[in-house]
Amino acid sequence: MNSQKRFNNETTRFLLQKIGHRNVFLLFATVFVMSLLDLAGIAIIFPSLQVVTQPDAAEKILAVIGVTSTALLELTHRQLSVALGVGLALFYMVKTFFQTALTKTQSRLLARFTADLTNDIVSHVLNARYSTFQETPVSQIAGTANSNTVHASLVLNALMQIGNESLLLIFLLFGFFIFQPFLALGALVLSLLTGYFLYVTVIRRSSKLGTAQNHIENIRYRLLFSIAYAIRDIKIMGLDGLFSARNNRVSHDYAELAWRYNLNNALPRLLTELFALLAIVAASLAIVFFASSFDKAGPLLGVAAVAALRVAPALGRIFSAVNTFKFSRPFVNRLIDLRTSLANAAVSRQDDNLSFNHSIELKNVGFRYGDTQILNNVCIELKRGESIGIVGSSGAGKTTLLDLFTGLQQTTEGRFLCDGVIFDPFTSRSMQKFIGYVPQTITLLDDTIAFNVSFEETPDYERVMRVLKIANLENFIASLPDGIETQVGENGIKLSGGQRQRIGIARALYRNPKILVFDEATSSLDTLTEAELTLEIEKLRSQTSVVIVAHRLSTVIACDRIYVLSDGKIESSGTHSELLLTSETYKKLYASQQGMEHDKEIS
């Protein structure tokens, strides 16, 4: 209970701190003024009707509120009724105007709060280290940023409602206490009992419902993302029925929780009103049976009924808001957890102003995933203007090595030197600027070719054309009616694998990198296209150093130095011809590929 309470406070504190003191006050004030206006709206109807229906009521009411103006008393009943009618109409118009303005302020505040929270999460996401995304699926992050933030504003709104209605209730009860202390005490006890009853029967369960709903929402997002990622496989292998059934199950579970929550939300109001009415009936019966005269008890009962009818809805709203708070809180807590873990994984990049004039060296670099050593004692040197190749079997650690070199992952052992100065690619801004990276699997955005190359809203078209030419896409672009403005579809679905790779290459070149890093970046190209591309890249060598990871040895044969990676260690290094003499692994690799080439030629 204690930890739950602490967590309640934590949720509340987080929300209040996020929206800011000023806005909390503004929000509370709007909610409060709205209820006051509502209360005033109800309060003036009864006396007004009395005045219209009973000619002598005006005098009595004016006397009660202490108005003795003779001018008012001299008005005829008809005049008074008309004045009252006009007055009421005006009051309601002003009230509606104010309430509209307040609703606008309130909705805007809450909507902006949700948007700010989403922004906050997204910027934390962008700032978090890459390894975070290996632990937390993107679907979960998207779900949390999208729907949990909405729950945050629901919780905040619920808190405002609870505070505001409680305040009004305290006023009501206090006023009531002055006139009718016993009745007020009775009402208080009854309210507390109702609250306890509702908490035990309904509200307490909402927390579990919220947790379950959040869980199912995660599953829903994951499923939708999986369908998007695997749509080709689903189609080819006819898995649509299977995915549809899975989706059905998830949607069904979701619906189950949704109606339960809606019922839980309605019950507090319904039950509170029922209890209030039952209390009035019980009180009436008690009066009929026990009171000495109805004349005395009658007005008392009237007051009790009015009080109950005012108090009951307010109580109902409080309980319903508590219910929303309980239900939505797990969503907010998940949001807080995600935000905390992202914030803990934040990477701060430093403007280290490195200049790569001579060389970058990796000295005894190592890397572990938990207890598994992936790379060990790796020593590599890249001189300016050089090209180096890295070869090795699948799973040897080539991509991981590039991840360290490009600063995507942080090394667990060893160090990096740039022109003899120690630096860490993981935190270096300069290194980000140096590198043009073409990954093993290119990700294209659902946008134009120009945007996919430049990542800029207004790209330098000449430069885009130049890099597309180097990437051997000139003829292809010329054949497109929309040229570089052609939309490539989701993840470049409208392009071939090789075209996608070449757009990836153009993207890396667009930034005029000092170091071009290729991870199997030409594996989807035919040998002729690859050879042409290699030739183009060769021409850039005066400004650009190149690191190439490849399975196909022909891709790295011309490199100044080739490193053979085996089981996370550099087994040997040298030029192609040197390695053929010194490295058994390389020799075997070469022999097997020669054989394949030979077979290809024959067939």
Tell me: does residue 399 bind Mg ion (CB under 5 A): yes
Query: Are the C-beta atoms of residues 505 and 436 closer than 8 Å to each other?
Result: no
Shortest spacing between CB 563 and ligand ATP, in angstroms: 12
Nearer to ligand ATP among residue 397 and residue 513 (C-beta): 397
Shortest Cβ 391–ligand ATP spacing (Å): 9
Helix, strand, or coil (residue 395): coil
Task: Give which of Mg ion, ligand ATP, none residue 330 binds (C-beta under 5 to 8 Å, depending on kind).
Answer: none
**Residue number, 356 or 437, with CB nearest to Mg ion:** 437
74 or 135: CB nearest ligand ATP: 135
Considering beta carbons, is residue 440 or 554 the nearer one to Mg ion?
A: 440
Considering beta carbons, is residue 23 or 523 the nearer one to ligand ATP? 523
Judged by DSSP in three states, 347 sits in coil
Among residues 206 and 400, whose Cβ is nearest to Mg ion? 400
DSSP structure class, residue 396? S
Question: Which is closer to ligand ATP, CB of 316 or CB of 568?
Answer: 568
In contact, 185 and 161? CB cutoff 8 Å: no
Instruction: Give me the least distance between CB of 512 and Mg ion, in Å please.
Output: 26
Determine the size of the site formed for Mg ion (CB under 5 A): 2
Residue 374 CB, shortest distance to ligand ATP, in Å, is 4
400 binds, among Mg ion, ligand ATP, none (CB under 5 to 8 A by kind): ligand ATP
Pairing between β-strand 435-438 and β-strand 515-519 as defined by DSSP bridges: parallel
Q: Is 173 left (phi over 0), alpha (psi -120 to 50) or beta?
A: alpha
Q: Tokens 């050089």 identify what position?
A: 386
| Residue 135 C-beta: closest distance to ligand ATP, Å | 9
CB of 520 to Mg ion, least distance (A): 6
Instruction: Tell me the two tokens of residue 349.
Output: 């990049």
Residue 217 CB partners (closer than 8 Å, separation 6+): 143, 147, 254
Piece of the chain touching Mg ion by CB under 5 A; list 54-62, 421-429, 432-440, 466-474: 432-440
Residue 396 contact among ligand ATP, Mg ion, none, beta carbon within 5 to 8 Å by kind: ligand ATP
Tokens at residue 207, please? Answer: 């927390």
Euclidean distance between CA atoms 290 and 40, whole angstroms: 36
The angle at the Cα of 581, spanning 578 to 587, to the nearest 5 degrees, equals 105
Q: Alpha-carbon dihedral of residues 124, 126, 131, 132, nearest 10 degrees?
A: 30
Least gap, CB of 483 to ligand ATP (angstroms): 34
- Minimum distance, C-beta of residue 418 to ligand ATP, in the bound complex (Å): 23
Question: How many C-beta neighbours within 10 Å does residue 185 have?
Answer: 13
Alpha helices (H) along 345-427? 398-405
Q: Is 523 in the site for Mg ion (CB under 5 A)?
A: no
Greatest CA separation for the chain? 121
By C-beta, is 394 or 475 nearer to ligand ATP? 394
Contact partner at residue 134 from ligand ATP, Mg ion, none, CB < 5 to 8 Å by partner kind: ligand ATP
In the complex, least distance from residue 388 CB atom to ligand ATP, rounded to whole angstroms = 16
53 binds, among ligand ATP, Mg ion, none (CB under 5 to 8 A by kind): none
- The nearer residue to ligand ATP, 398 or 507, going by C-beta atoms, is 398
Q: How far is CA 325 from CA 175, 257, 328, in A?
A: 29, 16, 5
Distance (Å, whole) CA 167 – CA 185: 17
> Which of the listed partners (Mg ion, ligand ATP, none) does 302 bind, with a CB threshold of 5 to 8 Å by partner kind?
none
Question: Interface with ligand ATP by CB under 6 A: which residues?
Answer: 134, 369, 372, 374, 392, 394-400, 440
Q: Binds 2, which of ligand ATP, Mg ion, none (CB < 5 to 8 A, cut-off by type)? A: none
Q: Is 355 helix (H, G, I), strand (E, B) or coil?
A: coil
- What is the sign of the dihedral through the CA atoms of 592, 598, 602 and 603? positive
Dist. CA 469–CA 317, nearest whole Å: 67
| Contacting positions for Mg ion (CB under 5 A) | 399, 440
